[in-house]
Amino acid sequence: MKYKLKEVAQIQYGKDHKKLTDGNIPVFGTGGLMRHVDNYLFEGDSVLIPRKGSLNGLQFVTGKFWTVDTLFWTKIDVEKVIPKYLFYVLKQFDFAQMNVGSAVPSLTTALLNDLEIEIPNLGIQQSTLNKINPIESQINNLSMINDNLVA
């Protein structure tokens, strides 16, 4: 079934993190993990979408997290889409081609909200994830092995 992104997820803005105290909650920016703090914006599964900078750096997070103001986060309607499935659907888009900035690459909520995506029923989503998850797990394990070899 076709949806606009706004029909399956609410796009939220990240916030400044500089005044937060150090802690154990991850803070994500466009480039990934930045630091850990003592407060969070959201707890749950979310797709993080760059607002400024490297626009194709989508991230998937779960649990408590904070995002900086150069990154959008999503509150996902789990009755329509499995969060991890939405992540893979969005990874297929070239967000850099949707740039509306001049000096710094940028995306807007209006552009993202109107993005049309194809979402099958939850059973098909789960079946697809059941095939992807073992492959992703193996890739992560091999990456950790490579990191240990370099260190």
**Are 99 and 105 a contacting pair, CB within 8 Å?**
yes
pLDDT at 146: 86
pTM: 0.90
Question: Which three-class secondary structure state does DSSP give residue 150?
Answer: helix
Domain 2-119 has CATH 3.90.220.20: yes
93 CB-near residues (< 8 Å, 6+ apart): 115
pLDDT at 102: 80
**Are 111 and 98 a contacting pair, CB within 8 Å?**
yes
136 CB-near residues (< 8 Å, 6+ apart): none
pLDDT at 113: 97
pLDDT at 151: 63
Q: Provide the sign of the torsion angle of the four alpha carbons 3, 79, 137, 41, taken in this order.
A: positive
**Domain limits, the chain:** 2-119, 121-151
User: Among candidates 53, 81, 79, 82, which has minimal Cα distance to 68?
Assistant: 53
Determine the Cα–Cα distance for residues 79 and 76; give it in Å rounded to an integer: 9
The residue ranges of the chain whose pLDDT is under 50 are none
User: Among candidates 21, 2, 8, 122, which has minimal Cα distance to 75?
Assistant: 8
pLDDT at 49: 97
DSSP structural state of residue 68: -
Alpha carbons within 13 angstroms on the beta-carbon side of residue 31 total 2
